[in-house]
């Protein structure tokens, strides 16, 4: 089948965080497998652009808008380390409540505990029909999945909100369609319940579902 549409997907995972600092963050170990990949779905070709992002508020608040403005993305999937045993598809992102410091130490918190730079609602919802996506993935055999309404009020939630706010503001001003944007929490430990390779296949399945 001839390719009619080329779509670009922004995929991110995080650097290691915590004390003591681990050597890797599983979210990036999953995402980096897709760097430069081209995924065929129907008559579309999805080109993956993968980035490791910092666990620090100010750098994220600068980097995420820069990434959005570097390319016209149709799909954005941010990944982070979540809870054991379950892949969580996050439905909501929150503007306020950020008091846990990032990797930069005790001062690494956003002013007022809020995502800066946007006059948008306190809660933004994914531009993807998350419940329907979860059902589609389960039909494909990925059973350890859940829809979540709380992305954690840490860098995952902060990143997600920033991305959704970009879609609601910058893309709208430029008369561009906001990208289909989702945050996926992967279990933090290897092979729980899927291998890194299997988790990368789930991300690919998500791309195919929303492309």
Q: Which of 49, 90, 94, 166 is catalytic?
A: 90
Tokens linked to 164: 């959704």
156 is catalytic: yes
Give the C-alpha separation, 35 to 48, whole Å.
6
Give me the catalytic one of 49, 68, 94, 185. 185
- DSSP state string for 52-119: EE-S-HHHHHHHHHHHHHHS--SEEEEEEE--TT-EEEE-EEESB---S--TT-TT-S-GGGB--S--
Decide if 90 is catalytic: yes
**Nearest 5°: phi and psi at 22?**
-70, 170
* Under 8 Å between Cβ of 92 and 149: yes
**Residue found by looking up tokens 């007022």 in the block:** 112
Selected catalytic residue, list 156, 166, 197, 198:
156
Extract the tokens encoding 133: 């996506």
Task: Tell me the catalytic residues.
Answer: 90, 156, 185
């Amino acid at each position: 089948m001839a390719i009619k549409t080329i779509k670009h997907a922004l995929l991110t995972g995080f650097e290691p965080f915590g004390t003591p600092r681990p050597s890797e963050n599983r979210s990036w170990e999953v995402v980096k497998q897709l760097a430069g990949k081209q995924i065929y779905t129907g008559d579309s070709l999805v080109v993956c652009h993968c980035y490791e992002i910092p666990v620090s508020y100010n750098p994220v608040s600068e980097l995420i808008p820069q990434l959005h403005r570097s390319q016209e993305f149709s799909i954005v999937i941010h990944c982070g380390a979540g809870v054991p045993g379950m892949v969580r598809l996050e439905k909501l992102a929150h503007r306020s409540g950020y008091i846990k410091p990032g990797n930069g130490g005790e001062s690494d918190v956003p002013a007022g505990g809020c995502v800066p730079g946007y006059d948008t609602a306190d809660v933004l919802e994914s531009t993807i029909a998350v419940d329907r996506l979860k059902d589609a993935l389960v039909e494909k055999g990925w059973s350890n999945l859940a829809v979540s309404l709380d992305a954690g009020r840490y860098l995952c939630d902060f990143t997600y909100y920033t991305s959704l706010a970009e879609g609601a503001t910058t893309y709208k001003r430029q008369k561009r369609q906001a990208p289909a944007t989702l945050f996926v929490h992967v279990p933090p430990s290897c092979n729980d319940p899927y291998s890194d390779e299997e988790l990368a296949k789930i991300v690919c399945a998500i791309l195919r579902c929303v492309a």
